[in-house]
């Protein structure tokens, strides 16, 4: 009897559990159904509504086709100063790192022996001149022969030529600045012996500076005398400009490039010789180009496309592209000035999608 009651209680508990579980699951399904219906309704309302976008009015712009290359900076003139005559240095007349003018005396070499030779020759010239004059007067009186007069004239002219030679030798004992510029550190000292192989110092002219660079040969038609370039250097944040003045007529067979040289004004010595230049070279200018933000162009298998807004609706346009920059791309076909180009919400764009224009960019 006791076992029967236990069985009845167990059956009742199992039935109670099954009924409770069924009612609990039914409640969850109703709640899920209600929640899912609200979500579907919300998504459907969002999907069916207009997409907020910004548009840009397409217009023609001036586009420069340019390339970025590197080059080197050289002084306008540079020379290692050397003497033409060997000898002891009797004077140094410049300060290291100073500016010197063309023709300024920089170094003097011993020339006393040459000065003495010149003085001796000048005395002989004076005597020969008197002798020539005397014979010329006597020749007019037929007191001497023509041969005697010619001998005296030849002696006079020979001595003058000898004097010119000595003067030239003396002038070579003076080292002068061949052009105006800044002189570097000297390698000689007063009293030292200066040979014709010794470098006295380096003289450079830094205004203007020369910018030398190479460009691929296909760009040769775009470069000529007067072409402008801009460049910057590591030691300054400024952008400098230069003008091409020479183009090498031959193509380097190893690199297939041509060498170009430009001049850059350097009145304040901001550009340093031997530096490295990052050059922007404008090859051509297109006054009627359509440039659009890069993110507007959607690449396709065969072409590219953009979306335009018309009557608050999106329409697709197939386009052809050309030059690119970091942020823009040129459209050569498919757009015309005045079109309203969609520039935001591109990922949601489909043909005939309704739009809500938030902002119009010009």
Q: Which two tokens stand for residue 280?
A: 């922007």
State how far the Cα of 124 lies from the Cα of 118, in Å rounded to an integer.
Answer: 10
Based on the fold, state whether residues 189 and 265 are members of the same structural domain.
no
Domain end, chosen from 134, 161, 194, is at 194
Q: Which two tokens stand for residue 213?
A: 């660079």
Which of 306, 313, 301 is CA-nearest to residue 290?
A: 306
Domain of 11, in residue numbers: 1-47
Based on the fold, state whether residues 154 and 213 are members of the same structural domain.
no
In a domain, 79, yes or no: no
Unique residue bearing structure tokens 């002189």:
183
- What is the distance in angstroms between the CA of the first residue and the CA of the last residue of the chain? 96
Domain end, chosen from 239, 258, 286, is at 286
In a domain, 81, yes or no: no
Based on the fold, state whether residues 254 and 348 are members of the same structural domain.
no
Contact call for residues 164 and 48 (beta carbons, < 8 A) = no
In a domain, 127, yes or no: yes
Q: C-alpha 120: how far from its chain's center?
A: 61
In a domain, 281, yes or no: yes
CATH code, domain carrying 325: 2.40.420.20
Based on the fold, state whether residues 107 and 186 are members of the same structural domain.
yes
In a domain, 165, yes or no: yes
Which of 63, 68, 54, 57 is CA-nearest to residue 330?
A: 63
Give me the helix-helix angle, 146-171 and 112-140, nearest 10°.
160
Based on the fold, state whether residues 297 and 254 are members of the same structural domain.
no
In a domain, 80, yes or no: no
Sign of the dihedral defined by the CA atoms of residues 203, 209, 210, 213, in that order: positive
SS3 92: strand
Based on the fold, state whether residues 333 and 302 are members of the same structural domain.
yes
Which of 281, 292, 299 is CA-nearest to residue 324?
A: 292
SS3 358: strand
Based on the fold, state whether residues 280 and 292 are members of the same structural domain.
no
Based on the fold, state whether residues 229 and 254 are members of the same structural domain.
yes
Please state the domain count of the chain: 4
Based on the fold, state whether residues 35 and 58 are members of the same structural domain.
no
Based on the fold, state whether residues 179 and 225 are members of the same structural domain.
no
Cβ-Cβ contacts under 8 Å for 27 (sequence gap 6 or more)? none
CATH code, domain carrying 215: 2.40.30.170
Q: Write out the chain's pLDDT in tens, 362 residues.
A: 456 666 666 666 676 666 666 655 554 444 444 334 333 333 333 455 888 999 998 888 776 677 788 899 999 999 999 999 899 999 999 999 899 999 999 999 999 999 999 999 999 999 999 998 888 888 888 888 889 888 889 999 999 999 999 999 999 999 999 999 999 999 999 999 999 899 999 999 988 899 999 998 888 888 888 888 889 888 888 889 999 999 998 898 888 999 999 999 988 888 888 888 998 887 766 667 788 888 889 887 778 899 999 998 999 999 988 877 778 888 888 888 889 999 998 888 889 999 988 888 87
Contact call for residues 206 and 262 (beta carbons, < 8 A) = no
Based on the fold, state whether residues 95 and 55 are members of the same structural domain.
no
In a domain, 82, yes or no: no
| pTM to 2 decimal places | 0.56
Q: Give CA separation, 252 vs 17, 216, 217, 255, 257, in Å.
A: 94, 10, 9, 6, 5
Based on the fold, state whether residues 230 and 244 are members of the same structural domain.
yes
In a domain, 38, yes or no: yes
State how far the Cα of 342 lies from the Cα of 296, in Å rounded to an integer.
Answer: 7
């Amino acid at each position: 009897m006791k076992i029967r009651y236990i069985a009845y209680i167990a059956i009742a508990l199992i039935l109670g559990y099954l009924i409770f579980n069924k009612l609990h699951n039914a409640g969850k399904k109703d709640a899920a159904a209600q929640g899912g219906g609200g979500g579907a309704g919300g998504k459907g309302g969002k999907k069916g509504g207009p997409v907020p976008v910004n548009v840009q009015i397409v217009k023609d712009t001036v586009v420069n086709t340019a390339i970025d290359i590197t080059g080197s900076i050289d002084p306008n003139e540079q020379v290692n100063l050397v003497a033409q005559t060997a000898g002891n240095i009797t004077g140094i007349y410049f300060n290291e790192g100073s500016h010197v003018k063309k023709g300024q005396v920089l170094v003097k070499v011993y020339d006393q022996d040459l000065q003495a030779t010149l003085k001796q020759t000048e005395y002989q010239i004076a005597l020969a001149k008197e002798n020539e004059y005397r014979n010329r007067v006597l020749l007019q009186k037929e007191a001497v022969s023509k041969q005697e007069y010619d001998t005296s004239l030849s002696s006079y002219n020979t001595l003058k030529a000898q004097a010119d030679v000595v003067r030239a030798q003396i002038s070579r004992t003076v080292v002068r600045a061949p052009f105006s510029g800044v002189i570097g550190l000297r390698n000689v000292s007063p009293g030292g012996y200066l040979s014709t192989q010794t470098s006295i110092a380096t003289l450079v002219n830094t205004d203007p500076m020369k910018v030398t660079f190479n460009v691929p040969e296909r760009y040769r038609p775009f470069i000529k005398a007067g072409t402008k370039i801009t460049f910057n250097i590591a030691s300054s944040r400024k952008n400098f400009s230069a003008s091409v003045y020479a183009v090498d007529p031959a193509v380097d067979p190893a690199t297939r490039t041509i060498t170009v040289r430009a001049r850059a004004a350097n009145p304040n010595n901001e550009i340093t010789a031997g530096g490295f230049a990052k050059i922007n070279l404008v090859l051509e200018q297109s006054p009627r180009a359509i440039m659009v933000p890069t993110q507007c162009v959607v690449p396709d298998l065969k072409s590219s496309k953009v979306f335009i807004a018309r009557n608050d609706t999106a329409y697709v346009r197939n386009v052809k592209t050309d030059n690119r920059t970091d942020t823009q791309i040129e459209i050569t076909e498919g757009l015309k000035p005045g079109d309203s180009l969609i520039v935001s919400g591109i990922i949601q764009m489909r043909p005939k999608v309704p739009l809500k224009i938030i902002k119009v960019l010009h």
